[in-house]
Structure 1
Amino acid sequence: MKANRMEAFSDGVLAIIITIMVLEFKVPECHDWYALSKLGPKILSYIFSFVYVGIYWNNHHHLLHMVRTMNGRLMWLNLLLLFWLSLVPFTTAWMGESRFAATPTALYGIILLLAAFSYRLLQRAIIKQHSGDSSFVVAMGKDLKGKLSPLLYLIAVLTAYVSPWISGFFFVLVAIIWFVPDKRIEHVLKGH
Protein backbone atom coordinates (compact mmCIF):
# COMPACT_ATOMS: atom_id res chain seq x y z
CA MET A 1 0.00 0.00 0.00
CA LYS A 2 1.23 3.47 -0.81
CA ALA A 3 1.10 6.36 1.64
CA ASN A 4 -1.42 8.18 -0.55
CA ARG A 5 -3.98 5.42 0.08
CA MET A 6 -3.55 5.84 3.84
CA GLU A 7 -3.82 9.60 3.41
CA ALA A 8 -7.03 9.25 1.37
CA PHE A 9 -8.54 6.92 3.98
CA SER A 10 -7.56 9.34 6.76
CA ASP A 11 -9.02 12.29 4.84
CA GLY A 12 -12.30 10.41 4.55
CA VAL A 13 -12.40 9.60 8.26
CA LEU A 14 -11.63 13.21 9.20
CA ALA A 15 -14.35 14.46 6.83
CA ILE A 16 -16.84 12.11 8.49
CA ILE A 17 -15.75 13.34 11.93
CA ILE A 18 -16.53 16.93 10.94
CA THR A 19 -19.84 15.87 9.40
CA ILE A 20 -20.87 14.03 12.57
CA MET A 21 -20.06 17.10 14.66
CA VAL A 22 -22.23 19.42 12.57
CA LEU A 23 -25.11 16.92 12.55
CA GLU A 24 -25.27 17.27 16.35
CA PHE A 25 -26.89 20.70 15.87
CA LYS A 26 -30.65 20.71 16.13
CA VAL A 27 -32.55 23.55 14.50
CA PRO A 28 -34.08 25.86 17.15
CA GLU A 29 -37.86 25.76 17.43
CA CYS A 30 -38.13 29.55 17.61
CA HIS A 31 -37.07 31.82 14.77
CA ASP A 32 -35.21 34.61 16.50
CA TRP A 33 -31.65 35.45 17.57
CA TYR A 34 -32.35 34.52 21.18
CA ALA A 35 -33.14 30.93 20.16
CA LEU A 36 -29.85 30.79 18.31
CA SER A 37 -27.93 32.30 21.22
CA LYS A 38 -29.01 29.35 23.39
CA LEU A 39 -26.84 27.20 21.12
CA GLY A 40 -23.77 29.31 22.04
CA PRO A 41 -21.92 26.61 24.05
CA LYS A 42 -22.57 24.01 21.35
CA ILE A 43 -21.36 26.38 18.63
CA LEU A 44 -18.24 27.25 20.63
CA SER A 45 -17.39 23.59 21.27
CA TYR A 46 -17.96 22.87 17.55
CA ILE A 47 -15.59 25.70 16.57
CA PHE A 48 -12.91 24.33 18.94
CA SER A 49 -13.24 20.87 17.48
CA PHE A 50 -13.48 21.95 13.85
CA VAL A 51 -10.24 23.90 14.24
CA TYR A 52 -8.55 20.95 15.97
CA VAL A 53 -9.63 18.44 13.33
CA GLY A 54 -8.47 20.90 10.66
CA ILE A 55 -5.09 21.26 12.36
CA TYR A 56 -4.66 17.49 12.55
CA TRP A 57 -5.73 17.10 8.91
CA ASN A 58 -3.26 19.76 7.76
CA ASN A 59 -0.27 18.48 9.75
CA HIS A 60 -1.12 14.84 9.00
CA HIS A 61 -1.09 15.70 5.29
CA HIS A 62 2.40 17.20 5.61
CA LEU A 63 3.66 14.32 7.73
CA LEU A 64 2.52 11.61 5.32
CA HIS A 65 4.57 13.21 2.55
CA MET A 66 7.62 12.01 4.45
CA VAL A 67 6.64 8.32 4.44
CA ARG A 68 9.26 6.35 2.52
CA THR A 69 7.75 2.89 2.82
CA MET A 70 4.35 1.92 4.06
CA ASN A 71 4.19 -0.87 6.61
CA GLY A 72 1.80 -2.37 9.11
CA ARG A 73 3.24 -0.36 12.00
CA LEU A 74 2.48 2.94 10.28
CA MET A 75 -1.01 1.79 9.37
CA TRP A 76 -1.79 0.78 12.98
CA LEU A 77 -0.32 3.99 14.39
CA ASN A 78 -2.41 5.97 11.92
CA LEU A 79 -5.51 4.03 12.99
CA LEU A 80 -4.70 4.77 16.63
CA LEU A 81 -4.63 8.49 15.84
CA LEU A 82 -7.92 8.21 13.93
CA PHE A 83 -9.46 6.28 16.84
CA TRP A 84 -8.82 9.12 19.29
CA LEU A 85 -9.93 11.74 16.77
CA SER A 86 -13.13 9.77 16.11
CA LEU A 87 -14.09 10.37 19.76
CA VAL A 88 -13.90 14.15 19.29
CA PRO A 89 -17.56 14.43 18.08
CA PHE A 90 -18.81 12.67 21.23
CA THR A 91 -16.77 14.82 23.60
CA THR A 92 -17.61 17.95 21.60
CA ALA A 93 -21.33 17.25 21.88
CA TRP A 94 -21.12 16.41 25.59
CA MET A 95 -19.05 19.50 26.36
CA GLY A 96 -21.42 21.79 24.44
CA GLU A 97 -24.57 20.16 25.80
CA SER A 98 -23.28 20.43 29.38
CA ARG A 99 -22.30 24.08 28.85
CA PHE A 100 -18.65 23.24 29.52
CA ALA A 101 -19.16 21.32 32.76
CA ALA A 102 -15.94 20.13 34.37
CA THR A 103 -16.00 16.41 33.54
CA PRO A 104 -16.97 16.73 29.84
CA THR A 105 -14.35 19.46 29.43
CA ALA A 106 -11.71 17.31 31.13
CA LEU A 107 -12.63 14.32 28.94
CA TYR A 108 -12.33 16.54 25.86
CA GLY A 109 -8.80 17.41 27.00
CA ILE A 110 -7.96 13.76 27.65
CA ILE A 111 -9.06 12.80 24.13
CA LEU A 112 -6.94 15.62 22.66
CA LEU A 113 -4.00 14.54 24.83
CA LEU A 114 -4.28 10.94 23.60
CA ALA A 115 -4.58 12.13 19.99
CA ALA A 116 -1.42 14.20 20.49
CA PHE A 117 0.46 11.18 21.85
CA SER A 118 -0.77 9.08 18.92
CA TYR A 119 0.32 11.71 16.42
CA ARG A 120 3.73 11.80 18.09
CA LEU A 121 4.06 7.99 17.85
CA LEU A 122 3.19 8.14 14.14
CA GLN A 123 5.65 10.98 13.64
CA ARG A 124 8.43 9.07 15.42
CA ALA A 125 7.81 5.96 13.30
CA ILE A 126 8.13 8.04 10.14
CA ILE A 127 11.26 9.75 11.48
CA LYS A 128 12.76 6.30 12.08
CA GLN A 129 12.48 5.63 8.34
CA HIS A 130 14.77 8.61 7.77
CA SER A 131 17.58 7.61 10.11
CA GLY A 132 20.12 8.07 7.29
CA ASP A 133 18.72 11.47 6.26
CA SER A 134 20.26 13.81 8.79
CA SER A 135 18.50 16.96 7.51
CA PHE A 136 15.04 15.48 8.11
CA VAL A 137 15.94 13.90 11.46
CA VAL A 138 17.57 17.11 12.71
CA ALA A 139 14.64 19.25 11.55
CA MET A 140 12.07 16.99 13.18
CA GLY A 141 14.08 16.68 16.39
CA LYS A 142 13.36 20.30 17.29
CA ASP A 143 9.71 19.56 17.99
CA LEU A 144 8.94 22.24 20.57
CA LYS A 145 5.25 22.36 19.60
CA GLY A 146 4.96 18.58 19.85
CA LYS A 147 6.59 18.54 23.27
CA LEU A 148 4.67 21.53 24.64
CA SER A 149 1.18 20.50 23.47
CA PRO A 150 0.74 17.41 25.73
CA LEU A 151 1.79 19.48 28.73
CA LEU A 152 -0.77 22.18 27.87
CA TYR A 153 -3.47 19.52 27.34
CA LEU A 154 -2.66 18.04 30.75
CA ILE A 155 -2.98 21.50 32.34
CA ALA A 156 -6.30 21.93 30.50
CA VAL A 157 -7.57 18.62 31.90
CA LEU A 158 -6.58 19.52 35.46
CA THR A 159 -7.91 23.08 35.31
CA ALA A 160 -11.28 21.91 33.96
CA TYR A 161 -12.24 21.24 37.60
CA VAL A 162 -11.09 24.70 38.65
CA SER A 163 -12.70 26.57 35.76
CA PRO A 164 -13.66 25.27 32.33
CA TRP A 165 -12.82 28.73 30.98
CA ILE A 166 -9.21 28.37 32.16
CA SER A 167 -9.19 24.95 30.54
CA GLY A 168 -10.58 26.49 27.35
CA PHE A 169 -7.76 29.02 27.38
CA PHE A 170 -5.25 26.16 27.14
CA PHE A 171 -7.22 24.52 24.32
CA VAL A 172 -7.12 27.81 22.42
CA LEU A 173 -3.42 28.23 23.19
CA VAL A 174 -2.56 24.83 21.70
CA ALA A 175 -4.71 25.58 18.64
CA ILE A 176 -2.90 28.89 18.13
CA ILE A 177 0.47 27.15 18.41
CA TRP A 178 -0.51 24.60 15.73
CA PHE A 179 -2.68 26.82 13.51
CA VAL A 180 0.25 27.43 11.19
CA PRO A 181 1.19 24.02 9.74
CA ASP A 182 4.48 22.46 10.71
CA LYS A 183 6.94 24.24 8.40
CA ARG A 184 9.81 21.89 9.24
CA ILE A 185 8.54 19.28 6.79
CA GLU A 186 8.08 21.85 4.01
CA HIS A 187 11.65 23.06 4.50
CA VAL A 188 13.00 19.50 4.28
CA LEU A 189 10.94 18.75 1.16
CA LYS A 190 12.18 21.92 -0.56
CA GLY A 191 15.76 20.96 0.28
CA HIS A 192 15.47 17.61 -1.56
Structure 2
Amino acid sequence: SDPTVGVDFFARLIEVRNGTRIKLQLWDTAGQERFRSITKSYYRNSVGALLVYDICNKESFDHIPDWMTEAKRYIEPHNPVFALVGCKLDLVRAGAAREVTEEEAKAFAQRHGIFHIETSAKTGLNVEQAFKAVTQEVFDRIQSGQYKIEDGWDGIKTGFSRPNHLDGNLVEAESAKSSCC
Protein backbone atom coordinates (compact mmCIF):
# COMPACT_ATOMS: atom_id res chain seq x y z
CA SER A 1 0.00 0.00 0.00
CA ASP A 2 1.02 3.61 -0.43
CA PRO A 3 2.68 5.36 2.52
CA THR A 4 0.45 7.52 4.68
CA VAL A 5 0.64 11.27 4.15
CA GLY A 6 -1.02 13.06 7.05
CA VAL A 7 -3.79 10.80 8.42
CA ASP A 8 -5.95 8.06 6.89
CA PHE A 9 -9.16 6.74 8.47
CA PHE A 10 -10.60 3.23 8.26
CA ALA A 11 -13.41 1.39 10.05
CA ARG A 12 -13.23 -2.34 10.58
CA LEU A 13 -15.10 -5.16 12.32
CA ILE A 14 -13.03 -7.68 14.27
CA GLU A 15 -14.47 -10.75 15.96
CA VAL A 16 -12.95 -11.67 19.33
CA ARG A 17 -12.71 -15.17 20.84
CA ASN A 18 -16.24 -15.34 22.28
CA GLY A 19 -17.82 -14.29 18.97
CA THR A 20 -18.42 -10.65 19.92
CA ARG A 21 -17.86 -8.31 16.98
CA ILE A 22 -15.99 -5.11 17.74
CA LYS A 23 -16.04 -2.10 15.44
CA LEU A 24 -12.68 -0.40 15.28
CA GLN A 25 -12.09 3.12 14.12
CA LEU A 26 -8.54 3.19 12.86
CA TRP A 27 -6.50 6.33 12.40
CA ASP A 28 -3.32 5.70 10.43
CA THR A 29 -1.09 8.62 11.34
CA ALA A 30 2.01 9.39 9.35
CA GLY A 31 5.25 8.65 11.13
CA GLN A 32 7.00 11.63 9.60
CA GLU A 33 8.07 14.35 12.01
CA ARG A 34 6.43 17.09 9.92
CA PHE A 35 2.97 15.60 10.63
CA ARG A 36 3.52 15.10 14.36
CA SER A 37 1.61 18.23 15.40
CA ILE A 38 -1.59 17.12 13.65
CA THR A 39 -1.41 13.49 14.78
CA LYS A 40 -1.64 14.39 18.48
CA SER A 41 -5.37 15.14 18.23
CA TYR A 42 -6.04 11.62 16.93
CA TYR A 43 -4.95 10.04 20.21
CA ARG A 44 -8.02 11.45 21.97
CA ASN A 45 -10.58 8.72 22.78
CA SER A 46 -8.15 6.00 21.74
CA VAL A 47 -7.65 2.81 23.70
CA GLY A 48 -4.98 1.13 21.63
CA ALA A 49 -2.13 1.75 19.25
CA LEU A 50 -0.08 -0.26 16.80
CA LEU A 51 3.52 0.92 17.05
CA VAL A 52 4.77 0.18 13.55
CA TYR A 53 8.40 0.08 12.47
CA ASP A 54 10.15 -1.01 9.28
CA ILE A 55 12.29 -4.12 9.93
CA CYS A 56 14.63 -2.90 7.17
CA ASN A 57 15.11 0.51 8.82
CA LYS A 58 16.71 0.65 12.30
CA GLU A 59 15.93 4.35 12.67
CA SER A 60 12.19 3.64 12.50
CA PHE A 61 12.57 1.14 15.36
CA ASP A 62 14.64 3.60 17.37
CA HIS A 63 11.69 6.04 17.32
CA ILE A 64 9.23 3.52 18.82
CA PRO A 65 9.88 4.60 22.47
CA ASP A 66 9.11 8.21 21.48
CA TRP A 67 5.82 7.23 19.81
CA MET A 68 4.90 5.08 22.79
CA THR A 69 5.58 7.90 25.24
CA GLU A 70 3.61 10.36 23.13
CA ALA A 71 0.64 7.99 22.82
CA LYS A 72 0.59 7.37 26.58
CA ARG A 73 0.68 11.11 27.25
CA TYR A 74 -2.29 11.91 25.00
CA ILE A 75 -4.36 8.80 25.70
CA GLU A 76 -4.24 9.21 29.50
CA PRO A 77 -5.95 8.69 31.88
CA HIS A 78 -6.64 5.41 30.09
CA ASN A 79 -3.83 2.86 29.92
CA PRO A 80 -3.56 2.08 26.19
CA VAL A 81 -3.09 -1.35 24.64
CA PHE A 82 -0.01 -1.43 22.46
CA ALA A 83 1.26 -3.86 19.85
CA LEU A 84 4.73 -3.63 18.36
CA VAL A 85 4.42 -4.34 14.64
CA GLY A 86 7.39 -4.90 12.37
CA CYS A 87 6.43 -4.31 8.75
CA LYS A 88 7.92 -5.18 5.35
CA LEU A 89 8.62 -8.82 6.18
CA ASP A 90 8.11 -9.55 2.46
CA LEU A 91 11.23 -7.50 1.63
CA VAL A 92 13.39 -9.50 4.02
CA ARG A 93 12.04 -12.75 2.63
CA ALA A 94 12.92 -11.45 -0.85
CA GLY A 95 16.51 -10.81 0.22
CA ALA A 96 16.52 -7.25 1.60
CA ALA A 97 18.80 -6.56 4.55
CA ARG A 98 17.10 -6.78 7.95
CA GLU A 99 18.20 -3.96 10.26
CA VAL A 100 16.01 -4.89 13.25
CA THR A 101 16.29 -8.47 14.46
CA GLU A 102 13.19 -10.29 15.60
CA GLU A 103 14.96 -10.97 18.91
CA GLU A 104 15.60 -7.24 19.45
CA ALA A 105 11.96 -6.39 18.80
CA LYS A 106 10.69 -9.24 20.99
CA ALA A 107 12.96 -8.08 23.83
CA PHE A 108 11.53 -4.55 23.56
CA ALA A 109 7.98 -5.91 23.55
CA GLN A 110 8.67 -8.12 26.56
CA ARG A 111 10.23 -5.22 28.52
CA HIS A 112 7.08 -3.18 27.93
CA GLY A 113 4.58 -6.02 28.32
CA ILE A 114 3.18 -5.66 24.81
CA PHE A 115 2.40 -7.97 21.91
CA HIS A 116 4.88 -8.25 19.02
CA ILE A 117 4.36 -9.48 15.47
CA GLU A 118 6.05 -9.07 12.10
CA THR A 119 3.87 -8.37 9.08
CA SER A 120 3.72 -7.67 5.39
CA ALA A 121 1.12 -5.20 4.14
CA LYS A 122 2.05 -6.24 0.61
CA THR A 123 1.15 -9.92 1.12
CA GLY A 124 -1.22 -9.46 4.05
CA LEU A 125 0.86 -11.78 6.24
CA ASN A 126 -0.05 -11.35 9.94
CA VAL A 127 -1.82 -8.01 9.40
CA GLU A 128 -5.17 -9.37 10.61
CA GLN A 129 -3.47 -11.00 13.60
CA ALA A 130 -1.98 -7.66 14.67
CA PHE A 131 -5.41 -6.03 14.76
CA LYS A 132 -7.00 -9.05 16.43
CA ALA A 133 -4.39 -9.10 19.20
CA VAL A 134 -5.01 -5.46 20.13
CA THR A 135 -8.79 -5.84 19.82
CA GLN A 136 -8.83 -8.95 22.02
CA GLU A 137 -6.76 -7.22 24.70
CA VAL A 138 -9.06 -4.17 24.67
CA PHE A 139 -12.09 -6.49 24.95
CA ASP A 140 -10.45 -8.41 27.82
CA ARG A 141 -9.84 -5.12 29.66
CA ILE A 142 -13.49 -4.15 29.20
CA GLN A 143 -14.62 -7.54 30.51
CA SER A 144 -12.30 -7.33 33.54
CA GLY A 145 -13.42 -3.79 34.39
CA GLN A 146 -10.06 -2.15 33.60
CA TYR A 147 -11.79 -0.08 30.93
CA LYS A 148 -15.08 1.43 31.96
CA ILE A 149 -17.71 3.03 29.80
CA GLU A 150 -17.71 6.62 31.07
CA ASP A 151 -19.91 9.60 30.39
CA GLY A 152 -18.09 12.14 28.27
CA TRP A 153 -15.55 9.64 26.95
CA ASP A 154 -16.06 8.23 23.48
CA GLY A 155 -13.19 5.75 23.49
CA ILE A 156 -15.47 2.75 24.01
CA LYS A 157 -19.16 2.54 23.24
CA THR A 158 -21.43 -0.43 23.76
CA GLY A 159 -24.94 -1.44 22.92
CA PHE A 160 -24.94 -0.99 19.16
CA SER A 161 -24.94 -4.12 17.08
CA ARG A 162 -25.76 -4.91 13.51
CA PRO A 163 -28.14 -7.71 12.65
CA ASN A 164 -26.18 -10.90 11.94
CA HIS A 165 -27.38 -11.08 8.34
CA LEU A 166 -25.58 -7.86 7.36
CA ASP A 167 -22.20 -8.21 5.74
CA GLY A 168 -19.26 -6.92 7.80
CA ASN A 169 -17.94 -5.24 4.67
CA LEU A 170 -20.57 -2.54 5.15
CA VAL A 171 -18.33 -1.12 7.82
CA GLU A 172 -15.47 -0.93 5.35
CA ALA A 173 -17.66 1.13 3.02
CA GLU A 174 -18.39 3.70 5.71
CA SER A 175 -14.90 5.14 5.44
CA ALA A 176 -15.59 6.16 1.85
CA LYS A 177 -18.47 8.34 3.06
CA SER A 178 -16.34 10.11 5.66
CA SER A 179 -15.34 13.60 4.80
CA CYS A 180 -13.67 16.48 6.48
CA CYS A 181 -14.07 20.25 6.18
TM-score, normalising length from structure 2? 0.28
Higher percent of residues as helix: 1
When normalised by structure 1's length, the TM-score is 0.27
Bigger radius of gyration: 1
Higher strand proportion (structure 1 or 2): 2
